[in-house]
Structure 1
């Protein structure tokens, strides 16, 4: 790397990050601009119409779903029931990261679903290897790319050769995986620095990552809720009138919801299971490295079959996997929910949400995923 490139990185003036979110600053640092004072929320139906008419989803925020008491109880029950399983998956991906990247790694969670998973990985490494690795949460947006200022800031802090490890919660179609690949190529073309585009995820039901804890499409409790399990942070926002050339992408910090926040409860409960799963996680990670299963993008076969069956031309209306289907039910206008079978234990919260929103549920045999959410087309398609 030549001196001109290094000087270019050092001289880029970036506004320093503001303290945000309900997590401890020792767990994560958000590289996001605080837009808490800006009204960005739009009603679900209005936002859906705007998105499908061409306005980018990152220019506005959904009005976040306020769950019923039954749904909150389901979250807590699921957390107790699945804590050990989630801990094992988090431990496996943490072990893979250490083996592949070493202990000088810098964890870079993709806000916001990646943030609690990044915290879990950081805590596992600290507990098991007695090393506190840096952890940041940054914005990546489909159709607009990754927050370049956030990348430059981390390189300024940790060196131009810092081993950044990108982290997300789960995969659906693999859209963000593709955005990350493109962003790393663009960054190299601009700055001469090749970032490692490996994306580490807790669950990879889309078969599009090579660093993952599991490929089972199971319910990760953090997928059940929105900001109240993600440090009280909104989705990220990118709008020219709000984000300047030296700013990070933006987000809102919902301080008013502190009494409802379960973000730290979630990571604490999962992390408490680490001692019991460490040896198994190490064994699984060793086996995965000895006999790696490549990214086959197998999940895209499901997407094509669903598009063909229902006559859906816009692939962005098809959201596969438990995590993505939950998002459809929480903040989009669902048309229908497809499931592999009605007695799948991973679908309890999906069926509850679908009933609450009066969304039909249909069995679609042969799904790779446990379920798939289809967003209602607002221009007559598939009607």
Structure 2
């Protein structure tokens, strides 16, 4: 099987995702097919070059939060090294987990760990790409495997890992930088804050498209038309440089109490009927405005980390609500047919 080629630096990651043609549809058709019960994993909407707002949001977030991200990478590396020992098999979840896995891989390598890093596909409602996992973990101890993502929203990916790995030798252990849902096995923080790469898509993820099913294969395509805007290597290098000069972040503390249910209850007050259309966390809310048809935005407060969401909501003409008791920094509602 031919895997899709990425623009990550050699040695940062092995991409275990099949290179197959993308089944592209319009946003209108995508929403109609999802509303009819079809998995989003069967099609893609075309990805356009990042807007000026996206580029500015990324740059501002890297300048404002880069040191915090670096400290959280250090904290997560400390935790993984302490819990799993000197042999680690990082399996990042494309796309948001891949740059985190790349930076973790560099940091753990500097510490002398026996560490590998591969990225593969997981699709909500479909599951984890188990043949790719078998390749990623060949000749590696099952107990060394940890899945890596950027942040959590409602915990859907955690559930997919649990379902896909039921009875499997590999445990569904998830490591993230930001875990406002309180569902990850390992996290650096439970705070919901803006990770820079949440503002962009393929251009900080090796020019890889979102993953989809092509027959029975989990697949992606390289979005070569976005090459002039690619920041993948520069982003990983910038974070890695900060990691080397930043102390570990503070321990994450206790997980939040029932944040997902609280968010769902609050969303109903703003008209949400389908829990699948409720997307809590800054990262997930940003994705709604970049890839879905948004219906409303709820913010805990207007802050520098949520200013881009307010601007996106204004551009889409959707209402913005403020709810001080929202357990996440942001929550977006997808339009319901």
TM-score (norm 2): 0.94
Task: Tell me the CA shift for residue 352 of structure 1.
Answer: 2.1
Find out whether 1:113 has 2:96 as its counterpart.
Answer: yes
Moved over 3 A (4+): 159-162
Residues 297, 45 of structure 1: alpha-carbon distance in 2 compared, 3 angstrom cutoff: farther
CA RMSD in angstroms, aligned pairs only: 1.9
- Kindly state the Cα deviation for residue 270 of structure 1 after the two structures are TM-superposed: 1.1
- Counterparts of 1:345 and 1:239, CA distance in 2: 40
- In 2, Cα distance between equivalents of 1:304 and 1:60: 27
Q: Partners in 2 of 1:19 and 1:305 — Cα distance?
A: 41
- Does 2:309 correspond to 1:346? no
Aligned-partner Cα distance in 2 for 1:70–1:307: 26
Query: Alignment length, in residue pairs?
Result: 337
The aligned residue for residue 86 of structure 1 is: 69
Q: Does residue 137 of the first structure (1) align with residue 122 of the second (2)?
A: no
User: Contact 2:91 / 2:136 at 8 angstroms: preserved in 1?
Assistant: no
What is the match of residue 309 of structure 1? 269
**Counterparts of 1:212 and 1:54, CA distance in 2:** 33
- Give the match for residue 160 of structure 2: 179
1:4-29 CA distances to partner (integer Å, 9 max, x unpaired)? xxxxxxxxxxx3x5351110230001
Greater CA deviation, 53-62 or 309-318?
309-318
**1:1-383 equivalent positions in 2, closer than 5 A:** 15=1, 18=3, 20-35=5-20, 38-127=21-110, 129-131=111-113, 133-155=115-137, 157-159=138-140, 161=142, 163-185=144-166, 188=167, 193-240=168-215, 243=216, 248-278=217-247, 280-281=248-249, 284=250, 293=254, 295=255, 298-342=258-302, 344-378=303-337
Point out the structure with max Rg over C-alpha.
Answer: 1
CA distance in 1, matches of 2:108, 2:225: 32
State the Cα distance separating 1:267 from its structure 2 match: 1.2
The C-alpha deviation readout for 1:242-286, integer Å capped at 9, x for no partner, is x4xxxx5101111232111011121111111123223x34xx45x
* Larger fraction in helix: 1
CA distance in 1, matches of 2:62, 2:243: 15
TM-score (norm. length: structure 1) = 0.83
